[in-house]
Amino acid sequence: MERVMVFIDGSNLYHGLVKLYQGIYEDFESFRMDFPCFVELLRGDGRRLIHTHYYNVPVRRQDGAEEYASQQRFLNYIRSLPHFTLHLGRLVPRDRMIECPQCGSQFVHAYRTEKGVDVYLASHMLVMAFDNQYDTAILVSGDGDFAGAVEEIMRLGKQVENADFVSPVPTFLSQRCTKKIELTTEFLEPCVTVFRGTRVS
């Protein structure tokens, strides 16, 4: 039986879900996804799910107590799931110069960037393919930076399926994968467990 392993780029998935559902609902109060259900949909019939790896970065408590507490609840949920492993990167502070388009004045803009997530995910996919831990990897991401790792994994005789949101043209990543699983509202409907808000007419 075909062995499947799922690799989820958490930040990429979250922002895709926000974009997808904000086009349907406005001011929705809460959104919950049943991740075991989601993974089972990705797996499909006639295949054996080996494990799911979820990657994200933790927000800092000092950046907002409510956001921090909400994410901690979610990360604890992921940790509690059987056959799921949580992998955390880090947020690194950065500065860049911004120029005002009206007056031309320059000022320093402080921001944070994710570090470690892409490297963890790509290296885990490669190592586990090399160790023959799966036959097919399902990569939940739209990040084209994974294309190189995908090509190497397929060179090892493995298959890689790309689960991503609908795009008008094939993405750089999906073109290098065995197939694309489109994440639409219809596909995700069985996994949306809590959803409140006013539907856009």
**Interval 171-189: pLDDT, tens:** 999 999 999 999 999 999 9
Q: Which residue has the tokens 């402080």?
A: 110
| Three-state SS at 162 | strand
pLDDT exceeds 90 at position 91: no
Confidence of residue 146 (pLDDT cuts 50, 70, 90): very high
Q: Which pLDDT tens digit goes with each residue over 104-145?
A: 666 544 434 544 578 899 999 999 999 999 999 999 999 999
Q: Which residue has the tokens 């320093």?
A: 108
Q: What is the mean pLDDT of residues 5-29?
A: 84
Kindly report the pTM of this predicted structure. 0.83
Quote the CA–CA distance of 181 and 162 in Å, as a whole number. 6
Q: What is the pLDDT of residue 186?
A: 94
Q: What is the pLDDT of residue 28?
A: 59
The answer to whether the CB of 84 falls within 8 A of the CB of 52 is yes
What domains does the chain contain, in order, with CATH numbers? 2-199 (3.40.50.1010)
Q: What is the mean pLDDT of residues 37-55?
A: 97
